[in-house]
A = this chain, B = another copy of it.
Amino acid sequence: MTDARDKGLTLNPKYDDHGLITAVVTDVDSGEVLMVAHMNAQALALTVETGLAHFWSRSRQALWKKGETSGNMLAVRDIRIDCDQDAVWVKAVPAGPTCHTGARSCFFRRVGRDGLSLVD
């Protein structure tokens, strides 16, 4: 890790071998983690420019404007980047359920010593 990347004010994302960084989306009001996905440079730029969360779909290998088909877009209120610039934290207002299962958050199951259990 370099001091410039870790502490400086120049955006210099550390993309992985696939050209991606991790993106964590939280609900700006509840603080709940809604989803974790990935962004390439184009998705990050579009997210900053449009105020709507864009990702790179690893399964479809395509740019993914969240909510383009479901309508459940994520209106971005704040974007932060971490020390080594390989992850961003997006605070957003979700237009509807974020998860493809219909759950508000993709994190609808608790991990315990005895396996998983539903939350909410």
Q: How many copies does the complex hold?
A: 2
Chain B residues with Cβ below 8 Å from A83 are: 99-101, 103, 106, 108
Q: Is A46 an interface residue (CB 8 A)?
A: no
Q: Any chain B CB within 8 A of the CB of A11? A: yes
Q: Report A82-120 residues with CB < 8 Å from chain B CB.
A: 82-84, 86-89, 99-101, 103, 106-113, 115-119
User: Whole-angstrom distance between the alpha carbons of A110 and B88 in the complex?
Assistant: 9
> Using a Cβ–Cβ cut-off of 8 Å, how many residues does chain A contribute to the interface with B?
48
> Any chain B CB within 8 A of the CB of A52?
no
Taking beta carbons and an 8 Å cutoff, which residues of A are in contact with B? 1, 6-11, 22, 24, 26, 30-33, 35-36, 44, 48-49, 59, 78-84, 86-89, 99-101, 103, 106-113, 115-119
Known contacts A22-B22, A36-B89; can you find 8 more A-B pairs with CB under 8 A? A11-B111, A22-B36, A33-B33, A36-B86, A48-B111, A80-B110, A83-B99, A87-B107
Please indicate which of the listed interface residues A8, A30, A84 has the most CB atoms of chain B within 10 Å of its own CB.
A84
User: A88 contacts which chain B residues (CB < 8 A)?
Assistant: 111
